[in-house]
């Protein structure tokens, strides 16, 4: 079980609260977020990187609510937002704007204006069009934002192609190989309205080996050194993005923040010293590695259908609207019977949702107890990242609530959507 839950008298307990009590109080499907586990993971990152003078920005795209933003702030992390919506949540939570970083390959004018006016600490620019836009908006307001250039390092991260972001043929960043990154840097150095402070690189997500991170770090550090020598400009910041993988199923062996922190810093330091420039302040942006393992989804079983000779289809009360990752990336998950223990023979099963398509699969292949029946609760592990944040209302399913658990107590941090919420948007 790749999470923090434990069995108490046969029942799964999350943050010390039993699955049945949670389901009874909040209904299902339910996202349960273990606050202590989230904070512990944030702290691990902070200790690994903060100890060597680096900044940690939690990537809000993994999961962002006002409570989450407060935990992130209390643990001493900064916060990366990538849309006006995420920015609103951060500001509504009282997150200091100076500790926010803003991403996005197509930030709208309105989003840039909000970031400028709120005083967002770092804006990561991703295209020449955006540089033009930001320069004009900053000039109009007499502001001079601190900016990083997102650089594409040409690294092929070993992960699903939809979440690999540093090879040349994808939409993010400005390529080192074509000279686009250098042209952007030259442009920004000359800009009277933008303060170019550094470079940014993010190679992808759910990565298990250090090689890709290291190659990317070396390439951006070399580029930093070249800017120093050829353009006579010393940039003081280097953001190396997120991407650390987590365990979803037995056998997944994630790296620890500590394991990458030392390597990255020594690579960057070596390159910079060789280039004769001061070592920049390093930043990282973990999302999944903090939020993922802290979350569990509780579902109630509705039907158990034996397709004879093949497998048993176990249908639950959510599905691809609360977890699109299996359908989208072929993601794997671990699921257990949560409301009781069973000694029944395991049966080959597929955990599916209630949506109107056969691709609505949560766990493709798993063994569940042979006596599973309607009314049982099942728990899917490691759903804290990119599940609620990617949830939809497909088939007009209201999105689940998020309950935070800690020390045997629980509270709603995002309430369950209702059909009235959905109808309220429909103007007839
Ligand atoms: N920084 C930047 C610029 C990013 O684009 C991302 C993720 C992160 C940081 C955080 O990466 P993490 O530490 O969470 O791997 N929906 C996909 C993942 C998409 C990741 C997008 N960017 C999934 O469910 O696997």
ipTM score of complex: 0.99
Direct distance between the N- and C-terminal alpha carbons of the chain, in angstroms, rounded to an integer: 46
Distance CA(45)–CA(199), nearest Å, equals 21
pLDDT of 50 higher than 90: no
- pLDDT at residue 2 tops 90: no
Q: Is the pLDDT of residue 363 over 70?
A: yes
Q: Which residues are annotated as a binding site?
A: 243, 285-288, 325, 329, 357, 386
Per-residue pLDDT averaged across 234-238, rounded?
Answer: 97
pLDDT in tens, 254-279: 999 999 999 999 999 999 999 999 99
C-alpha 169/C-alpha 202 separation (Å) is 15
Which has the closest alpha carbon to 288: 402, 388, 213, 206?
206
Q: Which atom of ligand 1 is nearest to the CA of 150?
A: 3
Measured in Å, residue 394 CA sits from the centre of ligand 1 at 23
Mean pLDDT of the chain: 96
Is the pLDDT score of 3 beyond 90? no
Give me the phi and psi of 196, to 5 degrees please: -75, 115
CB 146 within 8 A of CB 123: yes
pLDDT for the residue 407: 96
Protein residues whose CB sits closer than 6 Å to any atom of ligand 1:
59, 61-62, 80, 103, 163, 202, 205-206, 241-244, 285-289, 325, 329, 385-386, 390
Ligand 1 atom closest to Cα of residue 287:
14
User: What local confidence, expressed as pLDDT, does residue 147 receive?
Assistant: 98
Question: Residue 157 pLDDT > 80, yes or no?
Answer: no
pLDDT number for residue 1: 83
- Best CA proximity match to 283, nearest among 105, 94, 46, 60: 46
What is the reported pLDDT for 169? 84
Find the 194 Cα to ligand 1 centroid distance in Å. Answer: 27
Whether the Cβ atoms of residue 353 and residue 360 lie closer than 8 Å to each other: yes
Atom of ligand 1 nearest to the CA of 124: 3
**pLDDT above 80 (res 424):** yes
Is 70 exceeded by the pLDDT of residue 367?
yes
Q: What is the pLDDT of residue 168?
A: 80
Cα(386) to centroid(ligand 1), Å: 8
> Which residues are designated catalytic?
356
Mean pLDDT of 416-420: 98
Is the predicted pLDDT of residue 160 greater than 80, yes or no? no
pLDDT interval class at 224 (50, 70, 90): very high
Residue 251 pLDDT greater than 70, yes or no: yes
Q: In a mutational test of the pocket of ligand 1, which residue from 45, 68, 174, 242 has the highest number of ligand atoms less than 8 Å from its CB?
A: 242
Distance CA 416, CA 200 (A): 37
Q: Using omega within 30 degrees of 0 as the cis cutoff, is the peptide bond preceding 397 cis?
A: no
* Mean per-residue pLDDT, 97-117: 98
Give residue 236's pLDDT.
97
The pLDDT score that the predictor gives to residue 51 is 83
Residue 274's pLDDT is: 93
Amino acid 163: pLDDT:
67
Which of 170, 205, 392 to mutate to test ligand 1, by most ligand atoms within 8 A of the CB atom? 205
Pocket test for ligand 1, best of 79, 107, 287, 332 (most atoms within 8 A of CB): 287
Nearest CA to ligand 1 atom 24: 386
User: How confident is the model at residue 58, as a pLDDT?
Assistant: 98
Residue 298: pLDDT band by 50, 70, 90 thresholds? very high
Which residues participate in the annotated binding site for pyridoxal 5'-phosphate?
243, 285-288, 386
Q: Is 328 a residue whose pLDDT tops 90?
A: yes
Q: Is the pLDDT of residue 342 over 70?
A: yes
The DSSP string of 84-104 is HHHHHHHHHTT--GGGEEE--
Which domains are seen in the chain, by residue range?
6-33+293-424 (2.40.37.10), 35-291 (3.20.20.10)
């Amino acid at each position: 079980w790749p999470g923090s839950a434990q069995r108490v008298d046969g029942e799964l307990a999350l943050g010390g609260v039993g699955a049945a009590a949670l389901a009874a109080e909040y209904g299902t499907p339910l996202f349960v977020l273990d606050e202590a586990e989230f904070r512990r993971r944030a702290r691990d990152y902070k200790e690994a990187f903060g100890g060597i003078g680096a900044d940690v920005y939690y990537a809000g795209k993994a999961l962002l609510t006002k409570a989450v933003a407060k935990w992130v702030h209390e643990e001493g992390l900064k916060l990366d937002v990538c849309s006006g919506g995420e920015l609103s949540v951060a500001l509504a939570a009282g997150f200091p704007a100076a500790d926010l970083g803003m991403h996005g390959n197509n930030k709208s004018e309105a989003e840039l204006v909000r970031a400028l006016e709120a005083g967002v600490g770092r804006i990561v620019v991703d295209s020449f069009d955006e540089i033009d836009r930001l320069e004009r908006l900053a000039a109009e307001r007499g502001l001079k934002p601190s900016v990083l250039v997102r650089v594409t390092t040409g690294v092929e991260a070993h992960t699903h192609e939809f979440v690999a972001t540093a090879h040349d043929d994808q939409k993010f960043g400005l390529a080192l190989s074509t000279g686009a990154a250098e042209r952007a840097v030259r442009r920004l150095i000359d800009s009277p309205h933008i303060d170019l402070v550094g470079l940014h690189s993010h190679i992808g997500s759910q990565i298990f080996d250090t090689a890709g991170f290291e190659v990317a770090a070396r390439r951006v550090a070399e580029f930093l050194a070249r800017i120093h020598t050829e353009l006579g400009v010393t940039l003081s910041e280097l953001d190396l993005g997120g991407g650390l993988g987590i365990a979803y199923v037995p056998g997944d062996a994630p790296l620890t923040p500590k394991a990458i922190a030392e390597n990255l810093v020594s690579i960057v330091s070596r390159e910079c010293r060789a280039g004769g420039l001061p070592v920049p302040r390093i930043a990282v942006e973990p999302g999944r590695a903090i939020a993922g393992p802290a979350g569990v989804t509780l579902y109630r079983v509705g039907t158990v259908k034996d397709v004879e000779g093949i497998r048993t289809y176990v249908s639950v009360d959510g599905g691809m609207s609360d977890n699109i990752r299996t359908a989208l990336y072929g993601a794997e998950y671990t699921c257990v019977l949560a409301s009781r223990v069973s000694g029944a023979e395991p049966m080959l099963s597929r955990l599916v949702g209630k949506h109107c398509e056969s691709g609505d699969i949560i766990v493709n292949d798993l063994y569940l107890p042979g006596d599973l029946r309607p009314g049982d609760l099942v728990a899917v592990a490691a759903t804290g990242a990119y599940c609620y944040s990617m949830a939809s209302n497909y088939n007009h399913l209201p999105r689940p609530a998020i309950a935070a658990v800690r020390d045997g107590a629980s509270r709603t941090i995002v309430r369950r959507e209702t059909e009235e919420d959905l109808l309220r948007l429909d103007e007839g």
